[in-house]
Structure 1
Amino acid sequence: MTTGTIPTTMRASVLLKQGVIEMQERPVPTPGEGEVLVRVGSVGVCGSDVHYYKHGRIGDMVVTAPIVLGHEVSGTVVGVGRGVSEDRVGDRVAIDPQVPCRQCRQCKTGRSNLCPFMEFYATPPFDGTFCDYVTAPADQAYTVPDSLSDESAALLEPLSVGLWAAHKADVGPGDQVLIAGAGPIGAMCAQAVRARGATDVVVTDFVDSRRERITSFGATRALHPVADAEEIAALRADAFIDCSGATPAVLSGIASTRGGGTVVLVGLGAEEMPLPVQLIATREINVTGVFRYVDTWPRGIALTTSGAVHLDDMVTARYPLEQVEEALNADADPLSMKAVVVVTPPESN
């Protein structure tokens, strides 16, 4: 069942190969059993999109064929597949871009983000959402209230990374949290740990403009990694969350974590780095990583709707679908926080 007239073809911004984007006309997908068809509203630009565009790969995930990028997505349900209530048509939704197998041991034990058979928007070989229409499992398309903008709904995806990092860090009321990196994910983590009750959130970054604005997104203090090195070294944070991927930041953060504290690695930098094993052992520091998230959309919607988290204010640039390439280069501006591709303007929904 569909609403209105669904065209047979749509626009799609396609990464042909490293550094080459082309607008194409492609067939509109048909929702399968248990799926919804979503007319895309807004899509946030993620660092992974930029990395695929500029480098053609992230680790062992390599672009070997044309691919549609984009996975931070919101939109409106305009059709449903078999087994999905027609009442879903017209729902404004935010989509969890993960499609796990739901059958393997990881899925069965609550670690669906680690499913070895995962299909994920914009991760080779699966197309993403820089296009007019996408399909998604109905239970992965979360209805959002009208008080939430299309842009905020799309940014629930990077917020989910922050929420999962805060969960892995086991942050609680009154905690002190150190975060390395004041970019979009650092800001999401800062807001997430504040929402969990952290009262002292220290964020480090080399860029002056990023340090200046991060206090608007959850940080209580913003420090320079070198100029404020002594103050950072004196911390004994309950948790350290690295969003930089930089080896010096990781090592400094570990040294600033209290005994029994937790280190969460979010940023992806060098594939290998030396770690202070004796310090980790003698302080009994827990070191873990973050790979996507599990069941974070309901919490993200609640926090954003309540005003505990602010996402609209993070958007610093907007581009139409025809300007995806410009959007992927927006991070060249040091004042940029979050670029969004507006596929369907709100007034058209």
Structure 2
Amino acid sequence: MQGVAARGLAAGVCVLGLVATATHAYAWEPNGDVSGALKSKQVEAKASQKIHFSGHTKSTGTGGGNLKATGGNWAPPPCWYAPTYTPKALKKKVGDSPYSLTGRAPDNGRKKQEVDESIRHYYSSGEYKDFNLKKQGDGSFWAAVPNPNEKDAAKRESCTDLPFWVPNGEQPDRPDALSPRILAALAYESIRVPDTKVELNPSQRQTVNLPTWVWLDKGTYHPLHVTATADLGAGHSISATTTVKPDRLRLQPGTGNAALHPASGECVVNGEGGIGTPYSKGRAKDTPPCGVTYQRATGGNATYPLKASLTWKASWHGTGNAGSDLPSGEYGGEQDLTVQEVQSVN
């Protein structure tokens, strides 16, 4: 039964929207909006299906952006299952319209009608008896929730199982059910880091064969965190906090006629929590712990695009003492530099 009707119900009962709420929080919640023909038949699910984010989210501040995971193919979940419908809400949804399950008009053929009837039977007298109405208040039906930030529609709609019953306070034994681990991944996806803009000396024009010192302002680049909390209903909730910390800065000088310091181009966090060392008077010819020496002038109105990418280490902890590391993330920026053919510092 699951394989026959899952896609129809996933398209009909599990369409969710992104809703902004106060205090820089976001929530995914069911709206029952399947197609233009069903806009007047929205059903408010009584079971809770909200995820709230707090901390350094993408709704706070200006500039900066979200991290891109480095290494491997890790990505936030494209969809998951979460408490969505009470027995009454699901029964109303399934019986609301002759085409509310698939989002198609009733003249789309006999096969569609058979799918509808199979789903109704599944919840009325098959796997469940009368939609579990006798258990109203004791649990909820968990349904598919597409991640609105997932750009691939096929992945976003890949959770196609029918809604299933979960008693209050219980966590489904399946990796795609909402959990602190999934909340941590969604918090990672929501965290916003500042623009990667390095400090330079010289601050204006650079000079051929004299090192350019590079460092990051410790006051701007410090640990950040986002907490994601989900209300599971009946007084139960779970949460996870994802924390990211600056780890290393990768420099790309924008030309092959340059020497990096260190040679790898990666400047790691030092013992004081900073990256690189601010320039001090009298060290113009010293080799900086983090920097670049340009060996050819730019000429005319040309510039070299110095690219600086900051890697952030990530970890999380959540309900039930759960927690572990997450993939490191990277966020970078570019600064156009002019290099002059003068053997002195202005």
Q: TM-score, normalised by structure 2?
A: 0.26
Higher helix share: 1
- State TM-score, norm by structure 1: 0.26
Higher CA-based Rg: 2
